[in-house]
Amino acid sequence: MHIRPAYLHFDAERKSVQLDPHQPEFVRNPYDAYAFLHAQGPAFFWENYGFWCLIDHDGVNRALRDRRLGRQQPDGRRPDPAARTHLANFDAVEANSMLELEPPVHTRLRKLVNRAFVSRQVERLRPRVEALCHQLITGFERDHEAELLAAYATPIPLVIITEMLGVPGEMGPQLVEWSHRMVAMYMHGSDEETQRRADAAARDFAAFIRAYAEKRRASPGDDLLSLLIAAKEDGEQLSEDELVSSAILLLNAGHEATVHQLGNAISTILAQGGDPRRFFTSEAETAAAVEECLRYDPPLHMFTRYAYETVEVTAGLTLKPGETVGLMLGAANSDPRAFECPRSFRPGRGDQKNVSFGAGIHFCIGAPLARLEMQVGLSVLFERLPSLALKAPPAYGDTYHFHGLERLDCRWNAGS
């Protein structure tokens, strides 16, 4: 029997939930709430958001692949530009983002971008990622303590994606700042100040990409930005606006989620106790440990979809055209009907089928890169610092539907 957390109010008849996603206990550990809700059924109406949510693994997996549901806002749901003049720059970037589009435009954009992220291309980056991880650890190893989110988890994906795109490395801190301000728009209850900061970040980010793309047109390289400028699919190239949106999406998505996943994974491994190297003794065991980290404590916990027609998303729940549904990825990964002892960390489990990267046509384009960065980042870290331990309890950020740390203070013994 799963006990209802005190901060969660559940109406059994209506299957509705009052749950403030900013509630500190939920921010720290949403899995107690998920366990209670799993016992109530596969779906619930989240009053704080105003839409139905699916939490069972099978339902979420099906919905991610269902072409009757999509990311692109139906005409009747699109916001009035006159009411969002303070978000004109942010909306302009979103309007051409493949993440927010459906076929045929999504298909064309994804084909143009995908060639750089297929597994065989990404695997060539392994030596560079390994060298970077060793370089970072060498930089702080003698201190015997570090805040690993800033010192390790952030620079790994940030350096790699900037190098892939050919963007100057010294721009890294500014790119992170712009990214954080834009991603804040996806959190629950963004206020006008947050919106204006996001819009200013989108404006400045877009201006930087346009100016840098102009340099690349004059002097092409072998980087991804140059390839995107030159790439054609069925005779079509990316428009200027599509190029800007695609570059911003790749830079944001290329580091934001991986930073959180690396931080969550380090915390998860340390919580198991014992020698952390035992999870990384071979390529197969390393891959299995990474997949379990992805399942056990993923960074993205909700992805929304719009219904394009009347569709029954689970037994007894039918959406009307234009309605929104929340697909609860973090909850689906802890569904006791899909995973044996879901809150036990079991690398190599036979029922591994996490949905952390999504599924269907919007499956994360950077999944091969994220997996490689995690495999290398975790194995190198624990090889170099096997006595790594938490200096303070990990602090999760109030950023739902992202679930990630804002600090990861660690220490280790001299000589290890």
260 domain-assigned: yes
Is the residue at 16 inside a domain? yes
What's the CATH number where 201 sits?
1.10.630.10
| Residue at 146 is within a domain | yes
How high is the pLDDT of residue 184? 87
Q: What is the pTM of this model?
A: 0.94
Contact partners, residue 243, CB within 8 Å, separation at least 6: 209, 213, 228, 229
Domain assignment present for 183 = yes
**330 is in which domain, residue-wise?**
9-411
Domain annotation covers residue 2: no
Regions in the chain scoring below 50 on pLDDT: none
How many domains does one find in the chain?
Answer: 1
List, as one string, the DSSP characters of 264-328.
Answer: HHHHHHHHT-S-GGGG-SSHHHHHHHHHHHHHHS-SB--EEEEESS-EEEETTEEEPTT-EEEE-
In a domain, 416, yes or no: no
Contact indicator for 296, 306 with CB cutoff of 8 Å: no
Residue with the two structure tokens 């539907």:
401
Domain annotation covers residue 155? yes
Closest CA to 215 of 229, 200, 195, 199: 229
pLDDT of residue 234: 60
Residue 1 included in any domain: no
